[in-house]
Amino acid sequence: MRFNFNDLHIFVQAVDNRGFAAAARHLGVPKSTVSKRVAELEADLGTRLIHRTSRSFVLTDVGKDFYDHARAAVIEAEAAESVVQRRQAEPQGTVRITASVPVAQFHLADRLPVLARAYPKLDVQLHVTDRFVDLVREGFDIAIRSHFAPLSDSDLMQRRMTVERIMLVASPDYLARQGVPGRPEELVGHDGLLTAPASRTWRLKNNDGREVQVAPAARLVADESSVLLRAAAAGLGIGCLPETMTAALVGSGELASVLPDWTAGIVTSTILTPHRRSQLPAVRAVIDFLAGA
């Protein structure tokens, strides 16, 4: 035998409120709806549950027994719903993140321990790789990608995490040996730390909007930013790197800014997540934390 659980709930409300009119007011529905749903419940069960007239509202014997079980079922259903609501309201559970090596080193290494302390019920799992990851197919909740141009439209939700300038840096030792360039054109005579053999030109822009393209001598080529950072600190030449990556070494004096009024563009780090996953409290908490940190 099957019946509509909503009808069960309405029946319990009718009994608890001692009538259809009071139950209708409590539920915020027309009285006729309550009467109709109880009548359909009785039809599904094949028995009368309530003797009702214009003046009386009395449960039948079977109605009394049915009400006891029905009320227990409604309470259990409400308790089950409450468990789900509480779980959804608290940031807890596993959140899988994928990020590139530089993002992990310079944006997440310091932040994730703070996140873990703030939300002790979260189980954050970070997968570090420089390859492209398909979030949906590979089961990740969040990807953090750094990019120079806007990301293409996709079915993923996007939220900006950081926007930073790309700056020129070198070690004080290198600058003492080779001289401090006073304008972009002087970089031609300097050793450059480059990201690729084909990327030998730096396009620089100042606050006035002036643009200059320069090609330093290739001293070292590496497609890993951390290698270029250490090479710059070791005095091999001038590096062109994101500001966040160089901040600590500039602050300690191991690196010095070169032509600080000029930048080589900006790099944006964006948080990507499937729309459905972004609605989960645990995922939302991680996104809000990273975007606001």
Q: In this predicted structure, what is the pLDDT of residue 88? A: 64
User: Mean pLDDT, the chain, as a whole number?
Assistant: 89
pLDDT at 1: 55
Token reading at 100: 């590139």
pLDDT digits (tens, 9 = 90+) for 207-227: 888 999 999 999 999 988 889
pLDDT in tens, 132-143: 888 888 889 999
Give the mean pLDDT of 161-178: 95
Q: Check residue 133 and give its pLDDT.
A: 86
> Could you tell me the pLDDT band of residue 236, with boundaries at 50, 70 and 90?
very high
Minimum mean pLDDT among 34-38, 137-141, 264-268, 276-280: which range? Answer: 276-280
- Residue 155 has a pLDDT of 81
> Once rounded to an integer, what is the mean pLDDT over residues 36-54?
87
DSSP assignment of 44-82: HHTS--EEE-SS-EEE-HHHHHHHHHHHHHHHHHHHHHH
**Each residue of 66-92: b (16+ CB within 10 Å) or e?**
bbeebbeebeeeeeeeeeeeeeeeebb
Residue 198 buriedness (CB in 10 A; 0-12 / 13-18 / 19+): exposed
Delineate the domains of the chain, giving CATH numbers in brackets.
5-89 (1.10.10.10), 93-163+268-292 (3.40.190.10), 164-265 (3.40.190.290)
